[in-house]
Amino acid sequence: MNRAPLIFAALLTSLFITTVYADVEKDKNFTIVEEKLRTLVPNAKTMAISETPIEGILQVQINSDIVYVTSNGQYLLQGQILDIDTRTNLTDHAKSGIRLGLLAELNADEQISFAPEKIKHDLLVFTDLDCGYCRKLHNQMAEYNKEGIAIHYLAFPRAGIGSASYDKFVSVWCADDQKEALTLAKNGNDPEPLKCPNPIEAQYELGREIGVTGTPALVTTDGTLIPGYMPPETLRLRLEAIQVSVE
């Protein structure tokens, strides 16, 4: 009697049972973790749990932030996970995906753009009109454009909604020539006070949601957040490196 088919069937049954058990155990852990975290952040709009390459550690997206929790729900870890062999920052990679989702609905018509004729890199820049490094970046616009970098500005008045900085950004947006008004404002010339329907508040809230804490904040097309000013050539090299890693 050929026992091979029986042995093969037994192995398949064992593998199926093991897989089902693992799935049940995973679902159980996910439920435990979510219940524990809901006691800490009961008003979280989004909570998504996934596995990580580290056994016993789960990744949890809470709104637009990433944290890590042990699979039994006992310990919460905040920080970054770096794959030393590949030099991949797994936390940044996860956050980039979140940012891309949040930025997907952006309207190009609601950005103030300074672009070269031949664009090699598109960059979203959350900016404040009064920030020193924001002004330095803007005053080098010709050099950024020369490097093939298109700057698409989004408003992030650091003092918040309703502040003098916020009102100035509204006035810039409502000006007949937005680019000229923005350039004048970044050189210390307050724009003529104007009011009109505008995206300033929405862009400020979007910036906060994707993790902007200061300006300028640069966001690449793959969702990478680069905090702070970078000289034109240095920025081009950084964007090229990111482009290569994505490809």
pLDDT, tens digit (0-9, with 9 covering 90-100), for 105-164: 899 999 999 999 999 999 999 999 999 999 999 999 999 999 999 999 999 999 999 999
Q: Choose, from 99, 130, 131, 135, the residue flagged as catalytic.
A: 131
| Domains 4-79 and 108-246 in one fold | no
Instruction: With 0.85 as the threshold, say if the pTM is over it.
Output: no
Look at domain 108-246 and name its CATH class.
alpha beta
Determine whether 176 is an active site residue.
Answer: no
What is the distance between the alpha carbons of residues 109 and 119, in angstroms, rounded to a whole number? 18
Active site residue 99: no
Q: Is 128 a catalytic residue?
A: yes
Q: Which residue in the list 99, 128, 130, 167 is annotated as catalytic?
A: 128
Indicate which residue of 158, 167, 174, 236 is catalytic: 158
Q: Which candidate in 99, 130, 134, 135 is catalytic? A: 134
Domain 4-79 fold is Nuclear Transport Factor 2; Chain: A, (3.10.450)
Q: Among positive and negative, which fits the CA dihedral 174, 180, 186, 191?
A: negative
196 catalytically annotated: no
Long-range contacts of 176-179 (CB under 8 A, 24+ apart): 178/112, 179/112, 179/114
Is the pLDDT at 104 greater than 50? The verdict is yes
List the domain boundaries for the chain.
4-79, 108-246
